[in-house]
Structures are given as structure tokens and as C-alpha cells.
Amino acid sequence: MTYKLTKEKIVKEIVKSGKNPVYFINTYAKIPHPGKGLIPFKTYDFQDELVDNLALHRFIVVLKARQLGISTITAAYVAWLVLFHRDKNVLIVATKLSTAANLVRKVKIILKNLPEWIRIANFEVDNKNSIELNNGSQVKASSTSGDAGRSEALSLLVIDEAAHIDGLDELWTGLYPTISTGGRCIAISTPRGVGDWFHETYVGAESGDNEFFPVSLPWDAHPDRDPSWFEIETKNMSKRQIAQEYECNFNTSGDTVVHPDDIMRIKGMIKEPVYRVGFDRNTWIWEGPNDENKYLLVADVARGDGADSSTFHVFKLETMEIICEYKGKPSPDVFAEIINTTGLQYNTAMVVIENNSVGYHVLDKLKDKAYPNVYHSKKGTHQYVEQYAAEGNSSVVPGFTTSQKTRPLIIAKFEEFIRNKVLTIYSKRLANELDTFIWKNGRPEAQRSYNDDLVMACAIGCWVRDTAIIENKRDIEYKKAFLNAMITTTTTLDTRAPGQAKPNMRDRMFDEHKKMKEFAWIFKG
């Protein structure tokens, strides 16, 4: 309003603005524009609806696309809240302190550019990360440190880019008591995969399992955007970037090690096991043993602290189908018994066990049970060694050693198998782990509060099958081919000493071949 207001009209405007934040924002708020400078804030319907929901609901979780002005409309709401209400304490938390401080700056710009007569509270403290008004209200920015806001009673908690805050579940545990006595919360973010606090909170809000009210604002929530705009904006973006920045798609937006498209394909193959057996019903079977098939059983043994599970997969070697799977928390002794029983059932499958501290205990138990087909390898090289050749060899260890050197190799092989559709997965337990198996600081690992036990067992299985077993098979085939070439040759060699009768080399090799057949276990594989 550019005309001069009477005192009576000023009072009416202040009262009206104090009661209606949407009216206040559209009438008096100004925001910076990159090309036009300071301009009036004229909101869109979806922004007005968000402000209305802020008044109606204590807890709101906003799943949004980029460039919708959600941070700006939130800043405008905060400006209205602290201007027209006494003793309001607002905390803004973001991925970085600078990000949270930028939202405080937006609040500050709106308040400082209001008409003088409507600015019923003035600044007492005005710095980079916080402001305080003389009506007792304040706005602070905070990093995501463990003690953020813990000692304060908050009127409003704003969590900006919530999906991108690592460890937000723990932070929320500390922050919730600060708003439990009537405070409000708005959590805003683009998606970043599944399994984090933001994803679980939004999904829980949709299903009515928590206190939050869900708001979804994909790219087309903006009235000025159409398919042509979307096509231009996303022309040079990957599917993952599009899902994160514009489509509000949790499933395809994360930094998963396995590509989201491959995860979705795997989820399309999931089927219920034919049998669920064992004392804990945690052995899932999709296909029983067949005398004509060879099998590989790969186990990842839990550390024993209760956080992880002991797991194994049974692979059909010819097709690389996972046809049996276990995930549970038995004692090492019981786990060894389960492995022994299952391995024998599947044609004495080759058993590969990660030989961590607890893994060695399981390996010892299998040795006590005289299990005849345990994977061994040379120290340092991970070159496969047949069990019979490992006896008494100090350079050979049972099981598979996962180290800083081998972990990237087995994960790369695992991802390669999935990408090239070599591996067949029916298990929803394994598929769910893929959702939360992510790149974190360049390292593949389970998302915080999740596990990768089935993933790691599967990765070891892929590596062993494609390196140790294949290389060993190839070596044996070379030996057999060389032997056959010697057996089938008609060439004779004169190796006589003077006066000695001439032997036939073919006959000698035939005799050696008979010995090889008699002691076939030497060429096992």
C-alpha cells in the first residue's frame, strides 16, 4: 500500500496481517531477485497452501523439487511468526551452518524491508547466524552437531535439506524434547534414496504412523512449468539426478552402489520362498538340491555384538541363482551346524566363510565336523587352494579375508554381476539391503542404522565364483588337455641307456593316466 494510512487503518492492517500470514506475505514481504533486485513476494497457490498447513499442523514434512521457492516461503512464515508473536524461539538446522545462516538472512531481509509502521518489533541482536527482536522472539541457525538446540525450548524447528543431513535420526532424538511441549517442526528436502530419517518420516506420515503431515511438491506443482520446460531442464541430467531434483522419487534418487534401475528390476523378480525352515524359520529356500548341479555356499558371520546378522547364500553355480538364503542371529556353534547341514544337503557345496574373528570360530567347528569342501586361499594373494592341498601349509588360510584391498574388488564384482544380469535374486531381504547400500565418502557401505550382511555375503560369492573357481577350473582344464595330448600322441621317444630295451612313451603315459584316474581327488574341481 503506497498511500498514506490513517492510524485506524494501520491498526486494522497490523491486526489483519498478524492473523493471516498469507495476506501479510503477499502484501508486505519483499525478497531479492537475481535480476530485478528487491521485489514484492507474490506467492503461488501451492506456497499459500503450505503456509496454511503450517498453521494447521504441528509437524510437517515437505518432499519437494528444486526451485519451487519453498525455503523462501518458509523464511517469510518465520518472519511473520517472530514479528507478530512474543517470545518465539525458532531454530533452523541444515546440512551446513552456512546453509542454515542463509535462511536466517532471508528472514532478516524480509523484516528489514517492511514498511516502518508495520514493523512492530525491532532488532536487538543482528548477526550472521541469528537475530533477536525486542519482543523476545529470536531466530538462530545451527549446524547439525550433536548438541544442536538441546538446551532450548523451541517454538519452531526448521530442518532444511533434511535428507542430506547424515545422522539426522540421532539428531532428532536430541531435538524432539525441545519441541515436545507445544513446539512445531517443518522438515524440508529433496529426496536422497530410501532408509534415512527423512524418507522414513515421510513414508510414515503418508501411512499415518507418525505425527507429521505429508506435503509432496514435484516439479509440476509450479503453474508455469510444463513438459517442454521439464524436457529442457533435464536434458543433460541422469535419471538419478532427475529423480532427486525434480520428480520427488525416493527409490531412484539415492547414491546407491547398485543403480536404482537395477534395484527396481531385481524387485520385480522377488518371490516368496517355497520353504522357510530351521529352528528360527530364517532359512529361506526357493529350490532344493539337484544331483546334477554344483553349489556354492557363502557365509558372512556376525561380529557378535548383536548389531549384525549372520548370513549365507547358496548359489547354483551354473546359473548364479541364489536358491537358498539364511539371515539370523544364532550363536557361532549353531550357525556352523546350520552351514554344515545345508552344505551337505546341497551336494557338499563349497563353503566360503569370511574369516573375521568370529568367522574363524565357525571354521573351526566345520573342521571338527570334518566338512570336506571348505574354501582356502593363500595369504595375501587370495589365490584359491584346494582343501587337500591346504593341510599343513602355513601359507594357506581357511575362508575368505575381507580387507581394505579386497572389499572394493568384491563390491565391484557384485555390482558388475547385477548390472550384466548374471546374478538372479529372489530375496526381498537382500533387495531391501540394496536400497540402503550406498556410497559414503567414496566407500560402499550400509546407510546409518542399516545392515549390509546379505550384500557382503553375496559380493564374496560373486568374486569367488568369477575368480577363484573359474581360474581353478581353467587350470585343471589346462592340465587335462596337456595330459590328453600326451596320451593320444603316437610319437615315441628313445630314452634308453645303451643296451636298454626301447619303451613306448604312449604306453608309459597310459600307465600314468590310470594312476590319475585311481587318485582322482588330486585333480578335484
Strand runs labelled E in 306-369:
310-316, 321-328, 350-353
Asked if residue 338 lies in contact with residue 361, where contact means CB atoms within 8 angstroms, the answer is no
Nearest Cα to Cα of residue 70 among 27, 34, 106, 38: 106
Q: Which of 208-222, 296-310, 344-358, 444-458 has the lowest mean pLDDT?
A: 296-310
Of 320, 308, 327, residue with least CA distance to 445: 308
Q: How many helices (H) and strands (E) does the chain have?
A: 18, 21
For the chain, report the end-to-end CA distance as a whole number of angstroms: 88
**DSSP letter assigned to residue 400:** B
Residue 151's pLDDT is what? 59
Q: What's the chain's average pLDDT?
A: 85
Contact 429, 454 (CB under 8 A): yes
pLDDT above 90: percentage of residues in the chain: 60
* CA quadruple 490, 495, 496, 502: dihedral, nearest 10: -10
Per-residue pLDDT reduced to its tens digit, 462-491: 999 887 665 555 444 444 544 455 455 444
- d(C-alpha 269, C-alpha 271), whole Å: 6
What is the pTM for the complete model shown? 0.67
The residue that leads in pLDDT, 513 or 201, is 201
Q: Are strands 321-328 and 283-285 parallel, antiparallel or unpaired?
A: antiparallel
The string of pLDDT tens digits covering residues 260-311 is 889 989 999 999 999 999 988 999 999 999 999 999 999 999 876 667 899 9
More confident call, 497 vs 442: 442
User: Distance between CA atoms of 312 and 298, rounded to whole angstroms?
Assistant: 5
- Per residue in 81-120, pLDDT tens? 999 999 999 999 998 899 999 999 999 999 999 999 999 9
Domain ranges across the chain: 7-247, 260-469, 489-525
Quickly list H helices, 191-284.
197-206, 227-233, 239-242, 260-269
Fill in the DSSP letter of residue 255. -
Residue 420 has pLDDT above 90, yes or no: yes
pLDDT in tens, 206-246: 999 999 999 999 999 999 999 999 999 999 888 778 888 88
Distance CA 400, CA 402 (A): 6
Q: Which CATH class is domain 260-469?
A: alpha beta
Q: Which of 295, 240, 262, 266 is nearest to 416 (CA)?
A: 262
Cα(170)–Cα(494) distance, integer angstroms: 82
CA–CA gap between residue 50 and residue 29 (Å, rounded): 17
Chain centroid to Cα 138, Å, comes to 37
pLDDT at 136: 96
Q: Cell digits for 263?
A: 534395484
Name the CATH superfamily, with its identifier, for domain 7-247. Answer: P-loop containing nucleotide triphosphate hydrolases (3.40.50.300)
Q: Are 144 and 95 in contact (CB under 8 A)?
A: yes
For residue 79 the three cell numbers come to 518472519
